[in-house]
Amino acid sequence: MRAGLKYVLASPVLGSTLLMMTIIGMLTFEFQVSLPLLARFAYQGDAGSYAFLSASLGAGAVIGGLFIAGRRRVSPDQLVKGALLFGAAVLIASVMPNLWLGAAALVLTGFCSIAFTSMANSVLQLESTPQMRGRVMAFWTIAVMGSSTLGGPVVGWVGQTFGSHWALALGGLAAVAAACLGAVGLRQSQAKLPAAELAAGPAELNIGRETRR
């Protein structure tokens, strides 16, 4: 675990991707907390309303999964844009005044959520060496599943204190903040690349390119 953590921290792309996923997993992917609050208190609905919102989110995720499966290339830059779009979609859903508009916005949210998750997973695996890929993906599992344990009570408290719309809006703001942090990490990795290329000889660069292919 120490070797894996040291490896992740040495790579701006891997570190920023895991940081984005931790923030988003902790506060944005808390739909099991925010959607029941939204259905009951914002839309004055019942269990059927919550099921409708959840189904809309799932429908968007299916469409997003099919869209991402057809893409040939995924880059860290696209990942940052995906996190930003995900945050924007959640913020749009958080201000919808009624159930039908909220469900429509959640279709877009579901699309962006699975798109971001798939791209983040791909970036981590493509940027990791075969020797470290298992340890990197172990950290990915912690970021996705472990962080929600910490974020659930926070989102619930925000919904109880400030209103159900804010429980969802918190996730949108967190995703936007994660995108900003990811952009900083990406800029750092791009700044290091020219120096690394100058230090490496032509043979080393060719070997590196062939390995990444």
Given this model, what pLDDT does residue 74 score?
A: 80
- Would you say 105 and 96 are in contact if contact means Cβ atoms under 8 Å apart? yes
The angle formed by the CA atoms of residues 191, 213 and 114, to the nearest 5 degrees, is 75
Size of the chain, expressed as the number of residues it contains: 213
Given this model, what pLDDT does residue 73 score?
A: 79
Q: How far apart are CA 15 and CA 109, in angstroms?
A: 25
**What domain count does the chain have?**
1
Residue-level pLDDT, tens digit, the chain, 213 residues: 899 999 999 998 999 999 999 999 999 999 999 999 999 999 999 999 999 999 999 999 999 999 888 877 788 889 999 999 999 999 999 999 999 999 999 999 999 999 999 999 999 999 999 999 999 999 999 998 888 889 999 999 999 999 999 999 999 999 999 999 999 887 776 665 444 443 434 333 343 444 444
- Could you tell me the CATH number of the domain that includes residue 186? 1.20.1250.20
Q: Which long-range contacts (CB under 8 A, 24 or more apart) does 126-133 make?
A: 126/74, 126/212, 127/11, 127/13, 127/14, 127/17, 127/76, 128/14, 132/3, 132/4, 132/7
Structure tokens at 81: 């844009």
Q: Taken in order 105, 183, 2, 194, is the CA torsion positive or negative?
A: positive
Structure tokens at 63: 């469409």
Given this model, what pLDDT does residue 196 score?
A: 41
Nearest to 117 by CA among 182, 170, 184, 68: 68
Nearest to 38 by CA among 51, 27, 25, 26: 51
Given this model, what pLDDT does residue 22 score?
A: 95
Given this model, what pLDDT does residue 64 score?
A: 92
Q: Which long-range contacts (CB under 8 A, 24 or more apart) does 93-101 make?
A: 93/168, 93/172, 94/165, 94/166, 94/168, 94/169, 94/172, 95/165, 95/169, 98/43, 99/39, 99/43, 99/45, 99/49, 99/52, 99/53
Q: Which domain holds residue 183?
A: 2-212
Can you give the pTM of this predicted structure? 0.86
Given this model, what pLDDT does residue 72 score?
A: 75
Nearest to 118 by CA among 151, 158, 84, 74: 74
Place of tokens 């996923």: 21
